[in-house]
Amino acid sequence: MFGAFIRAVLSAGAAVLIAAILSFILGFFLPFLGPEDELLYRSFAAVAEHNLLVMMLAVCAALVARAVVEARPGGL
């Protein structure tokens, strides 16, 4: 399980970096998606706003999945 924690820490660091890059890039693309009241614009704005949260939830889900696999006597 110790290896899973190390991978989770490395994944969290990568998630923060990727979230920052994604927020920076989406800031340039949002004006080209149309008016602010359209669904496409609002969807991408929500992704730009909550991308770090989604990535951290994915890292936590992977950590929990690894804990479940290692907690069983026979693995999967």
Domain presence at residue 67: yes
CA distances from 5 to 23, 25, 48, 49, 75 (A): 27, 30, 27, 27, 18
Let me know if residue 23 belongs to a domain.
Answer: yes
Residues ≥6 apart with Cβ < 8 Å to 69: 75, 76
Residue 75 has pLDDT above 80, yes or no: no
Q: Is residue 76 part of a domain?
A: no
Based on the structure, what is the number of domains in the chain? 1
12: containing domain: 2-71
Taking residues 48-75, what's their average pLDDT?
84
Task: Note whether residue 12 is domain-resident.
Answer: yes
Q: Where are the alpha helices (DSSP H) in 30-38?
A: none
Residue 43 pLDDT exceeds 80: yes
d(CA 34, CA 17): 28
pLDDT of residue 8: 81
pLDDT for residue 40: 92
What is the pTM for the complete model shown?
Answer: 0.70
Q: How much is the pLDDT for 74? A: 66
Residue 60 placed within a domain: yes
